[in-house]
Structure 1
């Protein structure tokens, strides 16, 4: 599925009054993985934000008491999309901090990321002249439960 197909699917669901946001979330990840341009990835990030914003506002979309967990999943998803974008073309499995800084600059400018977001802070830290305080990939892996 590509971004435009995803948009059409979301529009159909919304017209029917039933947005299957969990499936849309999976579709966003799949489309992001298959995206061939930055513009398409940015569109998918915008879709992700719009859908997750709508879910947060929808009464009954999240089980009672589940909003904190939903917000954690939402943040995890967003970071995963950004990190996977930062890994494009990186056969060695190492993230390029300069690329991640460019991505976080774009995200802050677009209003999808707070200027003090931890991923942004790390990107700035690893592209400044001061030595980094912690290994970038170890920190990123810790967000996803696979590292220190």
Structure 2
């Protein structure tokens, strides 16, 4: 089994679990670098909320922030994503092999074209009559309730 740095991989997947953070990464993937205000512009959340998302992405190592004067610029970094892709590829190979074996097994089997015994078809008319009878019988055997606030007569 391939060994991965557990904590780094956990932080990467935790950061990718949020749709806003994935959208921020997608925007950074379209352009080489963007300022924080440019990144935050299309989102309907506050700038402090975007900053918290950027903190998570920075802690996971998915972005790097550089400050020039009063402007903070964000860029993507590749290493955490490469580790995550490597982990996913390992398990994709595992599932692919297992699904290939399952497909081969299913294709080997000869399945009957028709069932050996006929499947009985329900008689809908008889079922409806029985349902009506059971409902009518249960209504006759019930006691009527008394209106609220009145005591039943003895």
TM-score bracket, shorter-length normalisation: under 0.3
TM-score, normalised via structure 1 length: 0.27
Higher relative contact order (CA 8 A, sep 6+): 2
Q: Which has the larger radius of gyration?
A: 2
TM-score, normalised via structure 2 length: 0.27
- Decide which structure has greater strand share: 2
